[in-house]
């Protein structure tokens, strides 16, 4: 799902995970929603946010606000790639990002693709080396890797 923000139209957001979570109270279970969102302006700024609320719309808003607040600005090469190869690890998720030649395109899977797309990187090769399928941790590993190219 793509949403354009109504504020200056600069940040776009993409939902990478939505889950119904519960906490147990005296009367039974109370359900709420946890949403993970990646927000980026496709000009070198990208962030991830996680929001929880009773309904999905509020959870998405919270996650988007948090993603914009914690966005990192990265340095891109002239052919919209990354300067050099980088490996990053967050929790048990490991990824490798390699620069690709101009016109080779975006070769990435899972939530790494979403993060790299919204950062504005057009030519990159990404590989998820983790056995973990946790989308949030994989996205955070991608952000951690991109932070190495900070301005």
| Amino acid 3: pLDDT | 53
DSSP 58-75: HHHHHHHHHHHHT-EEB-
Whole-number Cα distances in Å, 76 to 6, 82, 99, 119, 146? 26, 6, 10, 9, 10
- Measured in residues, the chain has a length of 151
What is the full per-residue pLDDT of the chain (151 aa) written as tens digits?
555 544 555 899 999 999 999 999 999 999 999 999 999 999 889 999 999 999 999 999 999 999 999 999 988 888 888 889 999 999 999 999 999 888 889 999 889 999 999 999 999 999 999 888 899 999 999 999 999 877 6
The domains spanning 2-72 and 74-147 adopt the same CATH topology: no
DSSP 8-state symbol, 27: T
Domain ranges of the chain: 2-72, 74-147
The answer to whether residues 141 and 126 touch, using CB atoms and an 8 Å cutoff, is no
Assigned CATH for 74-147: 3.30.230.10
Assigned CATH for 2-72: 3.30.160.20
């Amino acid at each position: 799902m793509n949403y354009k923000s109504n504020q200056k139209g600069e940040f776009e957001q993409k939902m990478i995970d939505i889950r119904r979570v519960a906490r147990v109270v005296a009367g039974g279970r109370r359900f709420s929603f946890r949403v993970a969102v990646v927000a980026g302006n496709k000009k070198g700024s990208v962030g991830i946010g996680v929001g929880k609320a009773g309904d999905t719309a509020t959870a998405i808003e919270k996650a988007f606000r948090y993603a914009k607040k914690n966005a990192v600005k990265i340095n891109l090469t002239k052919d919209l790639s990354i300067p050099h190869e980088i490996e990053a690890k967050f929790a048990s998720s490991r990824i490798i990002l390699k620069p690709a030649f101009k016109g080779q395109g975006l070769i990435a899977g899972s939530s790494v693709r979403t993060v790299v797309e919204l950062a504005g990187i057009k030519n990159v090769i990404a590989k998820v080396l983790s056995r973990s399928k946790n989308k949030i941790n994989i996205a955070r590993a991608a952000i951690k890797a991109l932070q190495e190219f900070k301005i």
